Structure formats: C-alpha cells, structure tokens
Structure 1
Amino acid sequence: MEDWALRAMARWPNVPALFGWLSLDRRGRWRIRGELISRPQITDTFDRNYAADEHGRWYFQNGPQRGYVQLETAPLVLRAEAETLRTHNGLAVASPTAAWLDEDGGLWLATEHGPAALSDQEAEWLLVHLHGAQGPVEEAELATALALPAGSRTDLWLKWGELALPLHRLTRAEAPQVLGFAAEPQPLPGEKTSERAPD
C-alpha cells in the first residue's frame, strides 16, 4: 500500500466502501463497470494499492475509500515470464503451498501473496510443467485427471524449479470457498457503503 493511501485512511477513517464498480477479469485486467481500463497510470495505481480484508474480500484502496473488486477467477492472476510466475500486479511467486486443476484444465494455486489462477493465455507454460507418472504429462493422463470428481487427488504434479506440488481437482464454482476469497464481495451487516467514488 502506498504512503498517500495510508495517510488518507488515517485522516478519513470512516469513508463508506464502494461495491459493484470494480472488477478483475480472468486475464488480470482491471475494469470499471465492465469497461476495460487501459491507461497504465491508472492500472499501476490499482496494482500497488490492492489488498484483501479479513473476510477474503479484495479491494483497491482509493485514498480513504475501499473499492471492493468482483473477481472473474482468483484475486491474483498469474502470468509466466520464462521460469517465473508473476501476479497481475507484479509479484513473483516463489513458494506456493497447494495446487488444483479445475474442470476446464485451469490451474489454481495457494501462493504467499494469496489465492491465484493461471491466466488462460498461459496454457503452454502449464503443459510444460505438468508431469505424470513417466515425466511430461500425456494427453490421456490429463483427461483422466480432469474426469475425477472435485476434491480428488490426481496422479499429476506441477513441477518447476525446485517445486513439486501434487494436483487436486476442484470446480470453478467451489474455488472461492476452497481458496478462501469472496468472488463477489458484499457489504457486511451495518457496513457503510457509497454509490459513487470520491472526486
């Protein structure tokens, strides 16, 4: 969180939160009311001031006001840079603790930065790093893994660098509960909300 945002929060601690305006799509792109934000100055500010509250609701801290974010997939969207996975807001992933495959073959990770999903544009990276019994995953092994019911451990592993994580199955619908985040944040009872962002 940047200093200017922390100072604004300290000066105006009770500004009502904003819901339903901001979203993050499955490729890690910010949107306001469905419209893609393309200006780097704005997206960079969003990236630097993005966090989660104690209820698993992710938000952008806009000065003294929190704008809660609706999530198309996970709170953090991963992109591959050679052998590094990096979140949409620029954080390198070094020590994930668990990994899952959803019904579409999408990868989900519990990372040191929070719940994450690999961008759907990174399928090639995923296939390189999925391993079965004899090495790189075979098509039949992947099909068998994806046919397993949610909650099952597959025979596949995610391997890159020194890391090797067993892959479990989950469905997209249950991912928020399994990974502990709110895909569509809602106000808590008694929480003050606003209809508009501050000027």
Structure 2
Amino acid sequence: MDAIVEAALRKWPNVPHCWGWLALDARGDWYMRDERVQAAGPFPQVKGSRIVHDKLREFIHRNYLPDEAGAWFFQNGPQRVYVELEAAPFVWRVDPGFGVQAHTGAAAEPRGAWLDEHGRLFLDTPLGFGLVHTLDMGHAAEAVEAGRWLPQELAFAEMPARFGYVLTPQPA
C-alpha cells in the first residue's frame, strides 16, 4: 500500500466504504460505475467507463487488496472502494516461457490449475486466484501439454468459496 494512502487512513480513519463503483472484468480492465451505470444494470452486463489513465491504473494496482472475508477492494486514500469481479481477483498473462504475470504487473508461480464448464482456465498462485487472459490461452495450452499445469475441472459457481473471494461485495 502506498505511504500516502496509509497516512490518509491514519488522518481520516472513519471514511465510509464504497460499493458498486469499481469493477474488474475478465480481461483485466478496470471500470468506473457511477450511479447512472449502476441503475442501468449489473456488472458485467453494463460495464461503465473503462479506466485508461495509466497512472490511475497503477495506483489502483498498488493499493488492491482483499479484506478478511475475501472481498477485494482498492484503498483510495482513506476510502475503501470494493471491487466487483467478473471472474476472479486476478487476470493472468502467460508468456511463451510459461511465466505468469497478474493484470497488476506482479509475477506469480502457479500451484494449481482449474477448468470451468465454459473451458476457461484459472490458476491458483501464492498471490491469489485468477483467470488466464483469453489472448494467452495458446501459451497456457502449451504449458498444459508440456505437463507444467494439470487442470482439474471445477464449476465456476464453486470457485469463489473454494478460493476465498467474493464476486460482488455487499455492505454488512
């Protein structure tokens, strides 16, 4: 977490949390969802405005964490902004040598692989659980064929509970 964020938390410790305003899609893109977008429909059917500003995305990545219940959030200064997830907390990019990097830029080492009923490949790592980006399925298939990853089948609906994350965080 950024030092400036930690300082803001100390200065304003009781800022209310925010829900529904930030989302992460299955391709690792962040979306802002204002009140109009939220009223138009649920994520990901209605996504909102894609965040394209590099510095803002980098700030989100550095301050993206889970709470004790597995709900992921972006600590925006003193305010915790909970994130709606289309598929999982991370979206993995796979390089030709089978290296894995999160949408946040952090490297990770897979320790397990799962296929859902739609043929999507998910990886569990010490960093967290995530979906392999669709553009990298060729490299991922090569890793499976080489015996590096041995995917097991698991229904998508079972993944959040098994891997301890929340798709749509809600206020307590």
Which TM-score band applies after superposition, normalised by the shorter structure?
0.7 to 0.9
Task: Identify the structure with the greater strand proportion.
Answer: 1
Unpaired segments ≥5 residues, structure 1: 137-156, 160-164, 189-199
Distance 1:123 1:168 in 2: 16
Which 4+ residue blocks in structure 1 deviate beyond 2 angstroms?
none
Give the deviation of 1:167 after TM superposition.
Answer: 2.0
Encode CA deviations 1:67-90: one digit per residue, 9 max, x unaligned: 000001110110123321100001
Give the deviation of 1:120 after TM superposition.
Answer: 1.6
Identity of aligned residues (%): 39
Match of 1:72 in 2: 86
**For 1:53, which of 67, 74, 96 is the aligned residue?**
67
Distance 2:13 2:50 in 1: 30
**For 1:85, which of 71, 92, 100 is the aligned residue?**
100
Unpaired segments ≥5 residues, structure 2: 34-47
Q: Say which one has the larger Rg.
A: 1
3-state SS, counterpart of residue 5 of structure 2: helix
Distance 1:62 1:187 in 2: 17
**For 1:41, which of 42, 55, 59 is the aligned residue?**
55
Match of 1:63 in 2: 77
Give the deviation of 1:29 after TM superposition.
Answer: 0.6
- Letter of the aligned partner of 1:179 in structure 2? F
Match of 2:151 in 1: 167
3-state SS, counterpart of residue 130 of structure 1: helix
TM-score of the aligned structures, taking structure 2 as reference length:
0.86
Q: Please provide the CA RMSD for this pair.
A: 1.3
**For 1:99, which of 113, 119, 130 is the aligned residue?**
113
3-state SS, counterpart of residue 51 of structure 1: strand
Encode CA deviations 1:84-119: one digit per residue, 9 max, x unaligned: 11000011012x332211112211122111111111
- Matched pairs, number: 157
Match of 1:19 in 2: 19
Encode CA deviations 1:13-46: one digit per residue, 9 max, x unaligned: 1110000010000010100012111111111111
Match of 1:31 in 2: 31
3-state SS, counterpart of residue 123 of structure 2: strand
TM-score of the aligned structures, taking structure 1 as reference length:
0.75
**More off after superposition, 19-28 vs 72-81:** 72-81
Distance 1:2 1:82 in 2: 32
Match of 2:3 in 1: 3
Match of 2:39 in 1: none
Distance 2:131 2:83 in 1: 16
Distance 1:169 1:70 in 2: 24
**More off after superposition, 26-35 vs 169-178:** 169-178
- Letter of the aligned partner of 2:168 in structure 1? E
Distance 2:112 2:138 in 1: 20
Give the deviation of 1:126 after TM superposition.
Answer: 1.4
